[in-house]
Amino acid sequence: MASLLEIYRCNLTSLSLNSLCSCRSRCPFPSSSSSKTLILTPPPYSNLNLRVFFDESSRRIVRLKRGISLNHHRIIKAVARAEPDRIDEGETKEEVDGPLMKDSASESQQKASQLRKRVVFGLGIGISVGGVVLAGGWVFTVVIAAAVFVGAREYFELVRSRGIATGMTPPPRYVSRVCSVICALMPILTLYFGNIDVSVTSAAFVVAMALLLQRENPRFAQLSSAMFGLFYCGYLPCFWVKLRCGLAAPALNTRVGAAWPILLGGQTQWTVGLVATLISISSIIAADTCAFIGGKAFGRTPLTNISPKKTWEGTVAGLGGCIATSALLSKILCWPTSFLSAIALGVLNFFGSLFGDLTESMIKRDAGVKDSGSLIPGHGGILDRVDSYIFTGALVYSFVKTLLPLYGV
C-alpha cells in the first residue's frame, strides 16, 4: 500500500518557500505501519503553505494537499498521501483518499457548528446590550461593572500564564483578586460621584502598598502589570458610564427625541449620551463586520505580526464601514448636526476599536493562548468581545465633551 504521512502537530524551526524543511526531531517510521508521524516547527507568526516534502527513508516525494496552512500556536491535523509512481496491487484510490476525505468532512462540520454558536450567541449578546444601553442609569452601570470584574479576572490570569510569567514575576493571587474587585467598583463610583480620578488614585496607592509590603521580594514587573490592569480593565471602561449617563443634556431638537415614547421615559431620556453611545457601538460593530468580510474576500497584505489574520484590505473595509454607519446614523438621529463631526466620530471609533483589538491580541500572543477565556461559547472570553470598546469610550467622551460645541446638538 502507498504509505501515509500523518501530521499531528506542526512546529517548524526553519522553513522557507524555496527550501526543504528541516526537522527538529525525526520520528522512526515502522515498516509495518502505513501511518507515519512527523513533528515540525514553523517560524513565529508565519502563515505558509506546504507543497512538497522529500521523504529520505523511502526516497519519495510526498505531496501535501493544497491549502494546509501553518499558523503559530495552532495544532493542525492533516493526512498527506504519498504519491509513488505506481499503486500497489489490490489498493484502490478510495482506500488511499478515504482518511483525507473523512478528516475534511469532520473539519467542515466542526467549523459549521462553531459558526452557528457564534451567530446565536452574538445575536443574544447584541439584543441584550441594546436593552441595557436604552435602560441606562444603574442598570447600565451594574452590567458594565460585572463585565469589568470578569474581564479583570481574565486579564490577571493571562498575566499569570506561562508565556508571560516566564519572563516576569506576576502579582500574587490575592493582589490580583483585590484589583479585580477594585476595577468592578470603579464604574459604580463613577456614576455615584460623577468623577473617578480620586478613586483611581486611592486604588493605585492601596495596590502599590500591598505589593511593596508583601513577604516576598517585591518586583517592578508586579507593580507595572497590576497598575496596567487597573488602568486597562477598570479606569478606561468607566468612560462608557460617563458617556452614557454623564452627558445627560436632552437632544430635544431631533425628530427622534420629540417622538421618544413615554414608556421609555419621555423626551428627557433622549439624551446626547444615549445617542452617542448608540452610534459608537453600532459603528464598532459595523467596523468589525466589514473588516471581517473585506479581509476574507480581498485580504492579501498582512497588517501586523501581532494579529496575523488582519490585513490592510480588511482594515480599509472596516474604516469605510465605520464611517458610513456613523454618517448614516447621524442623519437618522439628527446628531451630531455637523456632517464633518459625524465623519470624525466614525474615524475615532474605528481607530479606537482597532488599537483596542491589537492591544488584547498582543497580551494573548505573549501569554500563548488563543482566547482570553471560555465564558461565551464560540466567542471566547469577555475580553475577546469587548477589546474593541475599551479605548473607544474614553476617546468618544473626550471628543463630544471638548470638541463638539454644545455637545453637537
Segment 108-128, tens digit of pLDDT: 777 666 667 667 777 878 888
Last residue of a domain, one of 38, 56, 91: 91
pLDDT score recorded for residue 328: 95
The crossing angle, in degrees rounded to 10, of helices 272-298 and 93-135 is 170
Q: Do 30 and 135 belong together in one domain?
A: no
Q: Do 19 and 62 belong together in one domain?
A: yes
Give the CA angle between residues 260, 261, 267 to the nearest 5°: 45
pTM for the predicted model, two decimal places = 0.71
Q: Do 35 and 125 belong together in one domain?
A: no
Q: Do 69 and 133 belong together in one domain?
A: no
Question: Per-residue DSSP letters for 316-376?
Answer: HHHHHHHHHHHHHHHHHHT-SS-HHHHHHHHHHHHHHHHHHHHHHHHHHHHHT-S-S-SSB
Average per-residue pLDDT in the chain?
Answer: 76
Mean pLDDT, residues 126-133: 88
Mean pLDDT, residues 48-55: 44
Q: Do 38 and 163 belong together in one domain?
A: no
Residue with the three cell numbers 516525494: 61
Domain span holding position 58: 4-91
Listed range (86-90, 226-230, 232-236) with the worst mean pLDDT: 86-90
In this predicted structure, the answer to whether residue 278 has a pLDDT above a threshold of 90 is yes
Q: Do 80 and 142 belong together in one domain?
A: no
* CB contact set of 375 (below 8 Å; sequence gap of 6+): 150, 381, 382
* Residue 28 vs residue 371, higher pLDDT: 371
- Residue type for 405, please? P
Residue 202 included in any domain? yes
pLDDT score recorded for residue 111: 67
Q: How far apart are CA 310 and CA 293, in angstroms?
A: 11
Mean pLDDT, residues 45-67: 44
Q: How far apart are CA 352 and CA 330, in angstroms?
A: 19
> 261 preceded by cis ω (within 30°)?
no
Question: N- to C-terminal Cα distance for the chain?
Answer: 77
In this predicted structure, the answer to whether residue 258 has a pLDDT above a threshold of 80 is no
pLDDT score recorded for residue 317: 96
- What is the 8-class DSSP label of residue 87? P
pLDDT score recorded for residue 99: 56
Most confident among 55-69, 227-241, 253-267, 367-381 (mean pLDDT) = 227-241
Segment 22-49, tens digit of pLDDT: 444 344 444 444 444 444 444 444 444 4
* Residue 262 vs residue 202, higher pLDDT: 202
pLDDT score recorded for residue 282: 94
Contact 388, 355 (CB under 8 A): no
Q: Do 302 and 160 belong together in one domain?
A: yes
Residue 68 included in any domain? yes
* Residue 11 vs residue 381, higher pLDDT: 381
Q: Do 156 and 296 belong together in one domain?
A: yes
Q: Do 307 and 401 belong together in one domain?
A: yes
Strands (E), 99-150: none
Residue 266 included in any domain? yes
Q: How far apart are CA 129 and CA 290, in angstroms?
A: 20
Nearest to residue 149, comparing CAs of 233, 243, 239, 244? 233
Residue 100 included in any domain? no
SS3 63: strand
Residue 272 included in any domain? yes
Q: How many CB atoms lie within 10 A of CB 29?
A: 16
Residue 239 included in any domain? yes
Q: Do 267 and 377 belong together in one domain?
A: yes
Mean pLDDT, residues 333-342: 89
Tally of domains in the chain: 2
Q: Do 259 and 318 belong together in one domain?
A: yes
* Residue 269 vs residue 102, higher pLDDT: 269
Q: Do 86 and 159 belong together in one domain?
A: no
Residue 328 included in any domain? yes
pLDDT score recorded for residue 194: 83
* Residue 104 vs residue 246, higher pLDDT: 246
Residue 38 included in any domain? yes
